[in-house]
Homo-oligomer: A and B are copies of this chain.
Amino acid sequence: MSVAKKVTINDVALVAGVSVSTVSLVLSGKGRISPATGQRVNEAVEQLGFVRNRQAASLRGGQSGVIGLIVRDLTSPFYAELTAGLTEALEAQGRMVFLLHGGREADQLLSRLDMLLTQGVDGVIIAGASGVGSELCERAAQKGVPLVFASRASYLDEADTLRPDNMQAAQMLTEHLIRRGHQKIAWLGGKSSSLTRAERVGGYCSTLIKYGLPFHSEWVVECESSQKKAAEAMGALLRSNPTISAVICYNDIIAMGAWFGLIRAGRQSGEGGVETFFDQQVALGAFADVGENALDDLPIVWATTPAREMGYTLADRIMQRIEKSDVQAGHQIVSARLVTVK
């Protein structure tokens, strides 16, 4: 099959017996065109199988209908879900996203941004940046392209930012356990360099204090995200602090590991609250990026970050910025939900 000669508005105009400007007007729905003409044009479009070339369209001045997205790590379920949400929302509006995976370093990010600017995007979203905002903002502003950041923790001060409410999530989780009767609640997982973790630990800590419960720094255990390591750390924690009755896990992997640790220690988790089991059994709470509905065999209370909704919200936000250039940059926070596996 040979490549068909591309059909342009000129062809359409010719077939419809009108001028190119008329075709353009019909296409964009602007200007008042008579129904009859509109009809004729549309028929010609149909007949010729014409598809409008957006590159050319945006060249003259219009929008490209394209949003650039730079993601740090698409492999992480959180960002995958966020990306899915964003593209879904944008596609529903007939827009598209350019996907780039961003480097960690500022200049890498800058070069990615330039690629997007080069392509004439209407707006840019950077997901998972960490405190390298000002140059980027400047560059984008220079081009008149709105820039929005999305991340897991609050890094940037000066920019338009969307992020999950890690503190609230941790508070919710902690409070849930407290309501269940737990008083000695420990923390397992995450690296101390993680800002997300810092915020979560903050929420955990503040809730303990709020309820007048003890907060020991030895009860906050660092641990890399490996089941094996988590299981070991769990064992060690319980051995040195046998009275701990609940543990909050930094993520799903830690949670699985913690559970294995419990099994080995013969202290399987139960959702039953401390009053029934005294402190024989240990309850588990954990953070999850997405609805971990597959992990349904563990009696764990999950605090899920609504990554998909964040994607939707991002779509709204960037479109606002694009349409009304006077929208103030600011921070926006998305709340977590509690999910109890039954």
Q: Which residues of A contact B (CB under 8 A)?
A: 1, 3-4, 6, 49, 51-56, 58-59, 64, 66, 69, 73-75, 77, 80-81, 83-84, 87-88, 91, 94, 96-101, 112, 114-120, 138, 141-144, 225-228, 230-231, 253, 256-257, 260, 263, 290, 293-298
List 6 tightest A-B contacts by C-beta distance, closest first: A227-B297, A3-B144, A99-B99, A80-B80, A228-B297, A74-B84
A94 nearest in chain B by CB position: B115
A155 and B101 CA atoms in complex are apart in Å by: 30
Cβ–Cβ contact B75 & A88, under 8 A? no
Question: What are the residues of chain B within 8 A of A83 when measuring CB–CB?
Answer: 74, 99
A97 and B71 CA atoms in complex are apart in Å by: 12
Quote the shortest CB–CB distance from A251 to chain B (angstroms).
Answer: 9
Quote the shortest CB–CB distance from A93 to chain B (angstroms).
Answer: 12
A231 and B295 CA atoms in complex are apart in Å by: 11
Can you list 29 A-B pairs, Cβ within 8 angstroms, ordered by A? Answer: A51-B114, A51-B117, A53-B118, A54-B118, A54-B119, A54-B120, A59-B59, A66-B119, A69-B99, A74-B80, A74-B83, A74-B87, A75-B84, A77-B77, A87-B99, A87-B100, A88-B101, A91-B101, A91-B112, A94-B115, A96-B115, A96-B116, A98-B98, A226-B296, A227-B294, A227-B295, A227-B298, A228-B297, A256-B297
Cβ–Cβ contact B74 & A64, under 8 A? no
A225 nearest in chain B by CB position: B294
A251 nearest in chain B by CB position: B294
Cβ–Cβ contact A64 & B55, under 8 A? yes
Cβ–Cβ contact A84 & B101, under 8 A? yes
A101 and B87 CA atoms in complex are apart in Å by: 7
**9 new A-B contacts at CB < 8 Å, known A96-B119, A98-B99:** A1-B138, A1-B142, A3-B142, A54-B118, A55-B59, A59-B59, A80-B80, A91-B100, A253-B295
Cβ–Cβ contact B290 & A75, under 8 A? yes
Question: What are the residues of chain B within 8 A of A69 when measuring CB–CB?
Answer: 99
Quote the shortest CB–CB distance from A15 to chain B (angstroms).
Answer: 18
